[in-house]
Amino acid sequence: MTRQKPDVMLNGWVEQTPAYRNNIIFAIAQIISKTLVVAELEVRKLRHDPYDLLIRGVQPALWLLVFGQVFTRTRAIPTGNLSYLEFMAPGILAQSVLFVAIFTGGMTLIWERDLGIVHKFLASPIPRAAMVLGKALGCGVRCLSQIIIIYGLALLLGVKLNLNPLALLQVLVIVLLGAGCFCIFSLIIGCLVKTRERFTGIGQLLTMPLFFASNAIYPISLMPKWLQFISHINPLTYQVDALRGTMLVNGSSLYGFNLNCIILLLTLIGLTIICGKLYPRVAM
């Protein structure tokens, strides 16, 4: 029995989906394009408050100018062939990225929910993963300004930075990966707590332990065993290690740039899957 063709031509929206749209390549292309759209919307927000980028640079500047200068004179922390200020500079860049990402992702999500923007996004055909990755990419672009601030201060303080174009490109990659991880972690918190006041408290509770349980301002070898274990599962440790090997002329990496990138990328993928599942809860 043959199927009779309709007398009226079908409109485009009721036509059968072409076969190529069902393959994985098309799905990946759609996620990438939608991610870039969401990221563009996030970056456009900087036009309304561009001075926020400068304000975010005050805290790392104080760490370098005060904390770094003092501990360089004391020589209390063994840093190998690096001065303490050189050892500390990559850690302060990672700290700056951490703070910007944590207090940008979840807080922005809660504001958008209160304004009804999240509901519109959830009603659109944009994949949840693209929404999450778009915000992470937008946060990464926002964090690029911290590279300029930290590099400028470090050069003024006499830190020997590696200004090779390949090294600068590697720093950009690590900053984007680190910002993405912590932004999505912040989005997960925003999906769970749903209020600005509670998010602020939890954000402040988490940022300092993440910072101090890493190799940002002292080597892991100086930590007690239990803190070394936490440091090894802390993504910030691998971000700092990668930055320390690429930013500095005499810098070295314990784990290697490739391994650090793989760990950060796997963390990013895992957090994206979790956040994609939790994202619809924001509208509840």
Tens-digit pLDDT profile for residues 99-110: 889 888 888 888
> What are the pLDDT digits (tens) for 228-273?
999 999 999 999 999 999 999 888 888 999 999 999 999 999 999 9
Q: How many other CB atoms are there within 10 angstroms of residue 18's CB atom? A: 8
Residue 66 lies inside a defined structural domain of this protein: yes
| Residues, the chain | 284
- The confidence score (pLDDT) of residue 80 equals 77
- Over pLDDT 90: what percentage of the chain? 28
- The whole-angstrom separation of Cα 198 and Cα 250 is 43
The number of CA neighbours under 13 Å toward the Cβ of 223 is 18
DSSP state of 19: G
For residue 33, name the pLDDT band (cuts at 50, 70, 90): confident
Mean pLDDT in the chain? 83
Instruction: Give the mean model confidence (pLDDT) for residues 169-177.
Output: 95
Q: Quick one: which of 131, 134, 55, 67 has its CA closest to 99?
A: 55
- The whole-angstrom separation of Cα 69 and Cα 86 is 11
Which range, 30-39, 110-119, 180-189, 205-214, is most confident? 180-189
Full DSSP string of 32-96: HHHHHHHHHHHHHGGGT-THHHHHHTHHHHHIIIIIIHHHHHH--S--TTS-HHHHHHHHHHHHH
Token pair in block for residue 250: 């005499």
Residue 145 lies inside a defined structural domain of this protein: yes
Residue 20 lies inside a defined structural domain of this protein: no
- Give the total number of structural domains in the chain: 1
Question: Domain span at residue 178?
Answer: 49-283
- The whole-angstrom separation of Cα 133 and Cα 137 is 6
Residue 110 lies inside a defined structural domain of this protein: yes
- The confidence score (pLDDT) of residue 268 equals 94
Higher-confidence residue: 188 or 284? 188
Higher-confidence residue: 116 or 1? 116
- The whole-angstrom separation of Cα 47 and Cα 88 is 32
Higher-confidence residue: 58 or 14? 58
Residue 94 has pLDDT above 80, yes or no: yes
Entry pTM = 0.85
Residue 141 lies inside a defined structural domain of this protein: yes
248: β partners: 161
For residue 9, name the pLDDT band (cuts at 50, 70, 90): very low
Residue 220 lies inside a defined structural domain of this protein: yes
Token pair in block for residue 107: 């807080």
- The confidence score (pLDDT) of residue 284 equals 67
Residue 31 lies inside a defined structural domain of this protein: no
The number of CA neighbours under 13 Å toward the Cβ of 265 is 7
For residue 4, name the pLDDT band (cuts at 50, 70, 90): low
Residue 118 lies inside a defined structural domain of this protein: yes
- The whole-angstrom separation of Cα 116 and Cα 134 is 18
